[in-house]
Amino acid sequence: MTESGSTSSITQPADLLEAARPLIELAIAEDIGPGDATSEAVLPADLFLHGRITAKGAGVVAGLPVAAAVFSRVDPNLRFVPHIQDGDSVAPGDLVAEVMGPGRGMLAAERIALNFLQHLSGIATFTRTFVDAVAGTRATILDTRKTHPGYRVLEKYAVRMGGGQNHRMSLHDMMLVKDNHIEAAGSITAAVERAHTAYPELPVEVEVKDLDELREVLGMAGVAGMETRPTGMAGAVDRVMLDNMDLEGMRAAVDLTAGRVGLEASGGVTLARVAAIAAAGVDYISIGALTHSAPVLDLSMLVSAPTGETGFDESVRSTATELAARIREAKAALGPALVILGHHYQRDDVIQFADFRGDSLKLARDAAACRDAQYIVFCGVHFMAETAAILAQPGQTVLLPDLEAGCYLAEMADLADVERAWTQLGTVMDVEREVVPVTYVNSAAALKAFCGQHGGVVCTSSNAQAVLAWALAQRPRVLFFPDQHLGRNTAKRAGIPLEEMALWDPQRSFGGHAAEALRHARVFLWRGWCDVHQRFLPEHVTAWRERRPGIRVMVHPECPMEVVDLADEAGSTAYIIRRVEESPPGTGWAIGTEFNLVNRLKNEHPEQFITSLRLSSGEAWGSGHGTPHCVGGLEGESEPSYCSTMNAITPEKLARVVEGLVQGEVINPVTVPPDVARWARVALERMLEVSA
């Protein structure tokens, strides 16, 4: 639970898109099916359109990443440019987003994208009205589990965008002892005791219907005088729900409780009544209507006829051109005070502004070498900007154009879980003498610091082999996190048999192993993965070889071992680029890594045949618009492997950050606490020495 009592932390964009993906597939199947008959009949196949999504009512927008994913799923050539961010307010007529690209795909996707956007914006708007109504009181507005089946993560995300907070996500992340449980157990005390005995780690909320029941809760161990008690402590009640109490009852409950435990008002909460409920002094007000009865926010999309040589509306072209001019102007104004770093996975319209481009290792070195720049703008994801901030000189500032651009893989290990693993391993072996912690650079700064403090090191996909060899020369075993695939592929290549590797599941005690199995292992592999690379499958390799004999398959070592084993070559991003650059004309490549990089290599090397391993037909590229048009495909596998968080960095966001610097405003700085930075630097410098 968070301090405020919210139990949800899984509504960041990567998780949002993960939850949205099956819903998008369902919506496309039910709405488009075999095709959009009207658009296919009326629109020429090569017609490009410019769509403008505007608000028809006032409200709060939520769901822009989902709308973007719908357009890109229906046709990867469609470009979605948001003009505001989720959580922003709009008035009637305000421009929300633009869409550019093939008309048929745009019109086929329109209704689905707007359905998501209107529904989620409606929830955000409705939530905001309640949040505004209780402004100035201590009450926090919460949602409930009354969400539409399958939509929970999306709808709870929308509540957050409206300024509310999430109650529990599901039945397994928090216990709520209600009247039926109490009836079955015989008393509140008995029910709470059973709850704590069965799941001592879970927070407990108890529903009471009157003051007598509240007195029983307050009389329990762990409540009286325990306002600072740790969440989930045995015997404690973390919150009390006042079920359908009238205002007088609520006021009496607040007096009786005197702040010893959080109080949540629930049941019959309307907009007309919510301010009075908040004034009664409760801490939380939960409202099912936020998600089950919110009216939609009316939005519409209008398209304009194509003009100009390219088929794009001139205004669209000028938007992109103007943005590019503004970024170049800001760069010129800042001169050597500004350096822009760009990861290879960035989109073309962003990476064109990078002074240095590279993979994680090269950019880490570039960041350390940028001694004269006052500002380092990192066009990449959050952990990369953190790494740059750790290696930065005193007085340098690192900025990330979108602070929400995280890394799905990096989020799969956190410090608490790694410390728990270290402690548990410590009961089986002498960890400080026997185990070297190795973190992939795709990890939070706190994990790099952990490695620094415990004799460990950072690695990238470029130097993982050298780092593993170094680590095993220090101590006999390695704890490798967070990417199991990179760890397994690297260890296997180093000659370590699979039987001497143990997959550490952070959700399970001792990673899910018996002590004897742990003692037998030389490499402990954290159970994490990159969603972009894990999508490459052995059948993709087989299919390409059947369709194009002689094609060489080259994959990134974040791909599963079965794919790496089948591939002709495996290597880091830098390796993949180098191999293409040094290959003769006519070479055929099916490459298993992030799509923007593959597409850029294809455009830069027309003398070779280059395709994504996930696409089924290399001949089916679109022309001249920087993204491929994929037709047909391995069944259900035609979606390109974009890194959605890398793609969150747009020219608009980059322009905002660099123009802010010109005006003396530092937008989206990335900082690392000094003690974390100090130890993280130790681990990073060990890596740079090992791979020098």
| DSSP 8-class letter at 567 | S
Return the residue of 48, 80, 408, 609 that touches ligand SF4, per CB under 6 A. Answer: 408
- Which residues inside 546-605 make contact with ligand SF4, applying CB under 6 A? 594
Which residue do the tokens 């329990």 mark?
220
Least distance from ligand SF4 to the Cβ atom of residue 488, Å: 16
Residues contacting 587, CB < 8 A, separation 6+: 552, 580, 608, 609
Least distance from ligand SF4 to the Cβ atom of residue 168, Å: 27
Binding-site size for ligand SF4 (CB under 6 A) equals: 13
Least distance from ligand SF4 to the Cβ atom of residue 405, Å: 9
**Known catalytic membership, residue 207:** yes
- Which residues inside 125-184 make contact with ligand SF4, applying CB under 6 A? none
Nearer to ligand SF4, 5 or 482 (CB): 482
Phi, psi of 397 (to 5 degrees): -120, 130
Interface region with ligand SF4, contact rule CB under 6 A, candidates 54-62, 218-226, 261-269, 406-414: 406-414
Strands 338-343 and 356-358: parallel
Return the residue of 379, 388, 409, 541 that touches ligand SF4, per CB under 6 A. Answer: 409
3-state percent breakdown (helix, strand, coil) of the chain, nearest 5: 45, 15, 40
Tokens found for residue 505: 């599941």
Interface region with ligand SF4, contact rule CB under 6 A, candidates 111-119, 392-400, 403-411, 676-684: 403-411
**Known catalytic membership, residue 132:** no
- Which residues inside 517-546 make contact with ligand SF4, applying CB under 6 A? 530-532
Interface region with ligand SF4, contact rule CB under 6 A, candidates 70-78, 309-317, 495-503, 643-651: 643-651
Nearer to ligand SF4, 483 or 637 (CB): 483
Residues contacting 20, CB < 8 A, separation 6+: 65, 66, 69, 116, 153, 154
Least distance from ligand SF4 to the Cβ atom of residue 362, Å: 15
Q: Beginning with the edge strand found earlier in the chain, give each strand of the sheet holding 175-177 in spatial order.
A: 140-142, 284-286, 262-266, 239-243, 204-208, 175-177
Chain centroid to Cα 467, Å, comes to 28
For position 405 contacting ligand SF4 by CB under 6 A, the verdict is no
Least distance from ligand SF4 to the Cβ atom of residue 121, Å: 27
**Residue 363: Cβ within 10 Å count:** 28
* Angstrom distance (rounded) from CA 398 to CA 367: 9
* Angstrom distance (rounded) from CA 25 to CA 616: 19
* Angstrom distance (rounded) from CA 74 to CA 127: 31
Tokens found for residue 374: 């006052």
H-state helical runs in 75-151: 103-133
Nearer to ligand SF4, 387 or 442 (CB): 442
Nearer to ligand SF4, 126 or 383 (CB): 383
Max Cα-Cα span within the chain: 83
For position 442 contacting ligand SF4 by CB under 6 A, the verdict is yes
Interface region with ligand SF4, contact rule CB under 6 A, candidates 27-35, 334-342, 407-415, 511-519: 407-415
Interface region with ligand SF4, contact rule CB under 6 A, candidates 139-147, 291-299, 401-409, 564-572: 401-409
| DSSP 8-class letter at 392 | P
For position 346 contacting ligand SF4 by CB under 6 A, the verdict is no
* Angstrom distance (rounded) from CA 153 to CA 399: 29
Nearer to ligand SF4, 522 or 533 (CB): 533
Interface region with ligand SF4, contact rule CB under 6 A, candidates 51-59, 98-106, 402-410, 469-477: 402-410
H-state helical runs in 481-553: 484-493, 515-520, 531-534, 538-547
Catalytic residue selected from 243, 298, 329, 355: 243
Residue 676's closest CA among 441, 369, 445? 445
For position 646 contacting ligand SF4 by CB under 6 A, the verdict is yes
Return the residue of 66, 285, 390, 407 that touches ligand SF4, per CB under 6 A. Answer: 407
Provide the mask over 356-395, with x wherever binding to ligand SF4 is found by CB under 6 A and - wherever it is not.
Answer: -------------------------x--------------
Nearer to ligand SF4, 284 or 408 (CB): 408
Nearer to ligand SF4, 513 or 527 (CB): 527
Least distance from ligand SF4 to the Cβ atom of residue 531, Å: 6
Catalytic residue selected from 178, 420, 492, 493: 178
The continuous run of DSSP H or E covering 342 comes out as strand 338-343
For position 400 contacting ligand SF4 by CB under 6 A, the verdict is no
Nearer to ligand SF4, 23 or 532 (CB): 532
Catalytic residue selected from 15, 31, 56, 111: 111
With 0-12 CB in 10 A as exposed, 13-18 as middle and 19+ as buried, what is 329? middle
Alpha-carbon separation of residue 494 from 116, 416, 522, 543, 553 (angstroms): 48, 30, 12, 29, 21
* Angstrom distance (rounded) from CA 202 to CA 391: 39
Nearer to ligand SF4, 265 or 409 (CB): 409
**Known catalytic membership, residue 243:** yes
* Angstrom distance (rounded) from CA 536 to CA 562: 10
Least distance from ligand SF4 to the Cβ atom of residue 410, Å: 6
Q: Are 136 and 274 in contact (CB under 8 A)?
A: no
Least distance from ligand SF4 to the Cβ atom of residue 417, Å: 18
Strands 79-82 and 95-102: antiparallel
Nearer to ligand SF4, 204 or 407 (CB): 407
Which residue do the tokens 């192993």 mark?
513
Q: Is residue 65 reached through a cis peptide bond, with omega within 30 degrees of 0 on the bond before it? A: no
For position 645 contacting ligand SF4 by CB under 6 A, the verdict is yes
Nearer to ligand SF4, 159 or 441 (CB): 441
For position 643 contacting ligand SF4 by CB under 6 A, the verdict is yes
Angle at 251 (CA atoms; ends 245, 253), nearest 5 degrees: 70
Nearer to ligand SF4, 39 or 490 (CB): 490
Least distance from ligand SF4 to the Cβ atom of residue 407, Å: 3
Least distance from ligand SF4 to the Cβ atom of residue 344, Å: 10
**Known catalytic membership, residue 653:** no
Q: Beginning with the edge strand found earlier in the chain, give each strand of the sheet holding 338-343 in spatial order.
A: 356-358, 338-343, 375-379, 397-399
Catalytic residue selected from 21, 56, 146, 548: 146
For position 195 contacting ligand SF4 by CB under 6 A, the verdict is no
Q: Which residues are catalytic?
A: 111, 146, 178, 207, 243
**Which positions touch ligand SF4 (CB under 6 A)?**
345, 381, 407-409, 442, 530-532, 594, 643, 645-646
